[in-house]
Structure 1
Amino acid sequence: MSKSIEELKSLTTQIRRDILRMVHAVNSGHPGGSLGCTEYFTALYGKVMNYNLPFTMEGKNEDHFYLSNGHISPVFYSTLARFEFFPVAELSTFRKLDSRLQGHPTTHEGLPGIRIASGSLGQGLSVALGVAQGKKLDGDDSLVYTLHGDGELQEGQVWEALMYAAAKKVDNIISTIDYNGRQIDGDTDDVLSLGNLHAKLEAFGWIVLEEKNGNDLEAVIAILERAKTETGNGKPVVIILHTEMGNGVDYMMGSHAWHGKAPNDEQLDTAFKQLYLEAPADY
């Protein structure tokens, strides 16, 4: 069922509450990047991507999504549950023994919505390019979407894949870079600067789009829809999406400190007051 923008905005807040509750319950996980990418996931699954339920691994004649920076699994799991891939109640098993919701997504337990295990950074684009080329061979006109962290771009395999995509004219893929400027060890510019990322991606032969308001749901929907119009032109498409790590929770924003740290009881309560919903759908 199609949801209105207001419904999707409320759902975005609910997903943020899910993220915090999940990492708090087990005192582990990665809330910072998850909170920063919530609008992207809500836009992708709520408005942009064409997919079918029940989920099938092959996913013929439907769009695919591949999460490369797998440590932001909380936002991925919550989104999948809220869009009815699996029961919302299962979110309470996050990172627990025998759970399908491991710290990084895995495929061996058959969690609906997960097509690759993504823990080691830098590999997602390579996998997605293979899928995108497979769709072309099958005569499947659907698109492949990927998400990557900006710190992840320090991995050399990403650049090999970027070069391959342009050389082989893989024009049915839309990759997005979560450009929040922070990673686990500090600011990305201090750890290993990406320099002029826009120019570098263009030099590698990609169509490059950029959105400065990556935490504005309507802006994210618009840039993804624009990216769709750029596909099929002989070049892969990439979006540089500027987000704020920890967005929505004031004490988590403006720092890399919450990349991989869970809030305590008092901090969780403070965050929930900031992420207020009239009728939160707890699990």
Structure 2
Amino acid sequence: MTDNTSTEELAGIARQARWHIIDTVTSSKAGHIGGPLSATDLMVTLYFRQLNIDPENPQKEDRDRFILSKGHSAIGLYSVLALRGFFPVEELATFDHGDSRLQGHPDMKITPGVDVSTGSLGQGLSVGAGIALAAKKQGKDFHTWVLTGDGEMEEGMIWETVLSAPRYGLDNLTLIVDLNGLQQYGWEGTESDRFDRSEPLGHVDLEKVFTGFGWNAVTIDGHDYDQIIEQFDAAEAARGVAGKPTVIIARTTKGNGISFTAGTYKWHNGVATPEQLETARTELLTEEAK
């Protein structure tokens, strides 16, 4: 854990990560944009301030575990892992190629730093609960973190775990919901929606729902590093003493950080034009990333 990383440093790393996301997808001509960008600040804070991990020993036994349940946002995770030192940043250029370690969905068998293979939406929280329960049973001292999307939260398997995790006292399990308010298609937006489409769970008071099911629940601005750090630290402090799991509901903007991708469902995926890529380069101050 590197808890001395400042918010300014985290913001700079996040700009680099966002540049690598859009540049890599543009180069590979495949991949997702909106979801990785909405979750960037959350993952950067986890990997550069919160998690007990060692890039030189990705499989160390007492490491914290992280599961990117919305596996289609893999390029976001890969960008953060590369910047953290799990593999060379230059390897991002192989993203989604046939012989690459960096496939379109995370693969724990080939990618350093990936704890669970994901891609089928809705499964990550169940796997995380299993890992957390095993840690309890075996007396292991590590924290399991799971990141889901809001569209993914419509999967029934998620709610089976929401119901069961408190029963087992999984205070070593923290769920982060990336509530960016947009799906790949979504419903037609209205004045009550945040962006240009409607995400059904964006209209639900998830904090009350989770609290009712027996979780510690809090809602934050998922791009505000002070709020992110405060609640990540609170979740860590609750580990081993709270007797129930924690959920951090992070309200984010899909495509955050780049003007032409922010808040539009059409950038769930897509490939930037040369002109758009240059706009992104300018907005993200990418000289920092070189």
TM-score (normalizing by structure 1): 0.93
Residue equivalent to 1:149: 149
Residue equivalent to 1:253: 262
CA shift, 1:278, in A, is 3.9
CA distance in 1, matches of 2:145, 2:12: 24
CA distance in 2, matches of 1:278, 1:54: 27
Residue equivalent to 2:238: 230
Residue equivalent to 1:55: 57
| Contact 1:63–1:143 (Cα < 8 Å) also in 2 | yes
Residue equivalent to 1:94: 95
Trace 1:1-283 onto structure 2 (pairs within 5 A): 3-57=5-59, 59-108=60-109, 110-186=110-186, 190=198, 192-193=200-201, 195-211=204-220, 213-232=221-240, 233-281=242-290
CA distance in 2, matches of 1:29, 1:241: 23
Helix, strand or coil for the counterpart of 1:176? Answer: strand
CA distance in 2, matches of 1:218, 1:94: 32
Gaps in structure 2 of 5+ consecutive residues: none
CA distance in 2, matches of 1:107, 1:231: 25
| Contact 1:107–1:117 (Cα < 8 Å) also in 2 | yes
| Contact 1:30–1:71 (Cα < 8 Å) also in 2 | yes
Helix, strand or coil for the counterpart of 1:37? Answer: helix
Root mean square deviation, CA, Å: 1.8
CA shift, 1:23, in A, is 0.6
Gaps in structure 1 of 5+ consecutive residues: none
CA distance in 2, matches of 1:145, 1:197: 18
| Contact 1:10–1:277 (Cα < 8 Å) also in 2 | no
CA shift, 1:221, in A, is 1.6
Of all paired residues, the percent bearing the same amino acid is: 38
Helix, strand or coil for the counterpart of 2:267? Answer: coil
Residues matched between the structures, number:
278
| Contact 2:17–2:76 (Cα < 8 Å) also in 1 | yes
CA distance in 2, matches of 1:222, 1:142: 19
Equivalent residue letter for 2:238? E
CA distance in 1, matches of 2:100, 2:94: 6
TM-score (normalizing by structure 2): 0.91
CA distance in 1, matches of 2:168, 2:58: 28
CA shift, 1:191, in A, is 5.6
Deviates most, 230-239 or 85-94: 230-239
CA distance in 2, matches of 1:113, 1:225: 22
CA distance in 2, matches of 1:63, 1:217: 20
| Contact 1:185–1:191 (Cα < 8 Å) also in 2 | no
| Contact 2:19–2:286 (Cα < 8 Å) also in 1 | no
Q: Over residues 70-94 of structure 1, what are the superposed CA-to-partner deviations in whole Å (9 max), with x where a residue is unaligned?
A: 0111110011010001111110100
Equivalent residue letter for 1:71? H
CA shift, 1:182, in A, is 0.7
Equivalent residue letter for 1:116? V
